[in-house]
Amino acid sequence: MSKQTIPEILTEGVQEHQAVQAWLQIQSGSWEPGSLEVLQQRRYSTVYRLKQVNEEATRVIAKRCRVATARIEQTIYEQLLPLTRMPALCCYGLQEESDGEFCWLFLEDAAGARYSPQLPHNRGLAGRWLAETQLAAMSANLKSYLPDRELDHYLRLLRACRGMLLDHLGGGTFLAEDAALLRNIAAHLDALESLWGKVEKICEVMPRTLVHGDFVTKNLRVRTAAASPALLVFDWEFAGWGVPATDLAQFIDRVASPDLNLYCSILKGGQAHLDLRDIQAVAACGNLLRMIDQISWATVDQEFVFPAQLVKAIGLLRSYESAILGALRAFERSWA
């Protein structure tokens, strides 16, 4: 599990900060926050929390990201999630920067308890949320608005990652243990690709629908409500349209591990041909797809760097190796 970090808090120059200026342009009656919390900093996105932006002391998430990504998130929050009639976060709006490439997306802060897959009730919330949301997405026909998440997408990622690892092995000088790790990961990807025909056959049964793409504990909160607890889902950066297997992954790499029995019982309302065994097999495929994503994220933009610059990527790959082996074994058991 990833380490918990204390957010950096900015108290100087807050009024002039881009996040605050963009917020005030779309919510002109708001107050200027006294501080900003830096929640996440990536190459193409940065996330802040703005506190006390109005008299109700509302907290707002300000996300700077590419316009294309933000438009997808905005579509999901404003057009899809209301169709589910389940509680969802409010999207306050989007403010483009002058260059047209990046923008600020403003969302309600997901206050609530952290999600735990060890709690059966949390897993039940996730299973219900996925089934209801996927059924709503199918009826709304959002395919044209979302990136491709069919199985070919994951196969391309697999081949690109393996090619990069082999290129580095062929042209770089590594410590013996690091070289062995890269060879092992490449071999695991070989083994996974050899199973691809079975993955495709298993996933034929699934309807094509919305894929969150990062349905993990850090992107979920459980909010206590008068009627019953509600699951809040956010961070749609990797969302798309295709096979929803990765969202069904079970007990691997911080995934939500939704209750598959409840998920199946609800999804059958619109997909009567499905049974629990089908869903369990698809979830085993989802474990494999999740690990492809993780390897891809660990090695993104690392094609042309020197071996000495791969320290972080190698550390991540080392932490993933046992999970990849576990996912391969679980898949083989599901197929047996």
pLDDT in tens, 227-261: 789 999 999 999 999 999 999 999 998 999 999 99
Strand 46-50 and strand 36-41: the pairing is antiparallel
- Taking the domain 114-335, which CATH number applies? 3.90.1200.10
Q: pLDDT tens, 279-329?
A: 999 999 999 999 999 999 999 888 778 777 888 999 999 999 999 999 999
Q: Which residue has the higher pLDDT, 324 or 59?
A: 324
Q: What fold is seen in the domain 8-109?
A: Phosphorylase Kinase; domain 1 (3.30.200)
pLDDT at position 107 is 95
- Classified as helix, coil or strand, 331 is helix
Are the CB atoms for 106 and 60 separated by under 8 Å?
yes
The average confidence (pLDDT) of the chain is 90
pLDDT at 3: 47
- Per-residue buried b or exposed e for 154-188, using 16+ beta carbons within 10 Å of the residue's own CB: bbebbebbbebbeebeeeeebeeebbebbebbbeb
Instruction: Specify the domain boundaries for CATH 3.90.1200.10 within the chain.
Output: 114-335
Range(s) of the chain covered by CATH 3.30.200.20: 8-109
Contact 240, 213 (CB under 8 A): yes
Q: Can you give the pLDDT at residue 294?
A: 96
